[in-house]
Structure 1
Amino acid sequence: MALVICDMSISLDGYVTGPNASRANPFGDGAGGLHDWMFQNPIDEDRRLLDDAVAHCGAIVMGRTSFDKTVNEWGPGGPVPGTPNFVVTHHAPAQAHEGYTFVTDGVASAIEQAREAAADRRVGLHGATVAQQALPLGLVDEIFVHVVPLLLGGGTPLFAALGSAIELERIATHASPAVDHLRYRVVS
């Protein structure tokens, strides 16, 4: 069965976007550098981790906010071309979007559909809200955060609304000049 992995770049103070994130400003104020480790002269280890995530991705589950803010940048097929995307939403858009399935009956249903589509590959969670909904339900197998040396002071926190403590077991850590990669298994 597919592993469900929350794989996100975050600021040192835990934000995945800065303040004032919108469709016109998808990462929010001051947060453009959250993904520089992937695009601005990544070292071999950074590149290897990114290539591994893309190569093993079988499906993506994202929230409607993530979809709305970034669909124009990704275009048809989403962030990993050829990989099915499941968007958790209260209301599906009237217009169909190639590569996207809109799921209106909750995050558990979206993850179940993504696991089926992914087969033996991984399901990637995209967006803080989806992770915050899936973690307390026990639907996340691993958390992989890429901690960027940046303090945003506000924005969208990755782990704001979990409701209770979640125990983690460290799997791996890697450091590069631009980012610290931290990987955990969800224990409870």
Structure 2
Amino acid sequence: MGKVLSHMTMSLDGYIAQPDDNPAELFEWYGAGDTSVPSGNDDIEFRVDEASAAMLRELTEGVGALIAGRRLFDITDGWGDQHPAGSPVVVVTHRPPSDAAERWPTTTFVDGVPAAIERAKQIAGDKDVTIASANVTQQALELGLLDEVCVSLVPVLFGSGIPYFSTLPGGHQLLEDPEVVQGRRAVHLRYPVRR
């Protein structure tokens, strides 16, 4: 069985977007090299350095389902029902869009983080489940449902914005030592969650 992990690109001061949801320079590393990594979305091409390419391939080829929050889903318009990771998406929401079945036929809408993780595991089979939402990641960590925290840390300071992690209701959480990959325009960190 695969792991449940999160992956977000983050500024050095801990933000995954500016206050207006704009990722600004955070995604520069996706185009900072000469190595092509296939995307599951025909409109998106990854051109990264060789070290980032190995890490990105591992993440995208290993994912069997991706979990997003409703806010991110709305911002991206559901990635046109083709997430760049190339996997089905499970969206955590209390109210699915009324036209969900027609516009996003490969996307599943689930109420609540535990139900979303359970459904994503069923979809993923032996592959990993990747959470691509700060709020969902925090809830999964609090519930003990997250195995690994992945961060692509980029050399920019936002000063304010939307944090990857804010207040954890249960207090601090210890992580194991990271696996570190130095890429161009990003340092990729994978922290197993300490149980």
Give the number of equivalent residue pairs: 177
Q: Is the 8 A contact 1:7 1:144 kept in 2?
A: yes
Residue deviations 1:99-152 (CA, integer Å, cap 9, x gap): 111102x10110011011111101010111111111110111001101101001
1:146 alignment partner in structure 2? 152
For residues 151-166 of structure 1, the aligned pairs below 5 Å read 151-163=157-169, 164-166=171-173
| Secondary structure in structure 2 of the residue aligned to 1:67 | helix
Q: Is the 8 A contact 2:66 2:130 kept in 1?
A: yes
Deviation at 1:56, TM superposition (A): 0.7
1:135 to 136, 141, 145: 141
Runs of 4+ in 1 over 4 A off after TM superposition: none
- 2:31 pairs with 1:39: yes
Q: Name the aligned partner's letter for residue 33 of structure 1.
A: E
- 2:93 pairs with 1:101: no
Q: Is the 8 A contact 1:3 1:123 kept in 2?
A: yes
Paired with 1:147 and 1:38, the residues of 2 have a C-alpha distance of: 12
* Structure 1, unaligned runs of 5 or more: 22-27
| Secondary structure in structure 2 of the residue aligned to 1:75 | helix
Residue deviations 1:10-46 (CA, integer Å, cap 9, x gap): 000111111212xxxxxx2xx3211111222221001
* Structure 2, unaligned runs of 5 or more: 34-47
2:81 alignment partner in structure 1? 76
Residue deviations 1:41-64 (CA, integer Å, cap 9, x gap): 221001111111111110011100
Paired with 2:77 and 2:139, the residues of 1 have a C-alpha distance of: 22
Task: Please report the RMSD computed on the Cα atoms of aligned residues, expressed in angstroms.
Answer: 1.3
Distance 1:179 1:80, change over 3 A: closer
Paired with 1:19 and 1:171, the residues of 2 have a C-alpha distance of: 28
2:42 alignment partner in structure 1? none
| Secondary structure in structure 2 of the residue aligned to 1:47 | helix
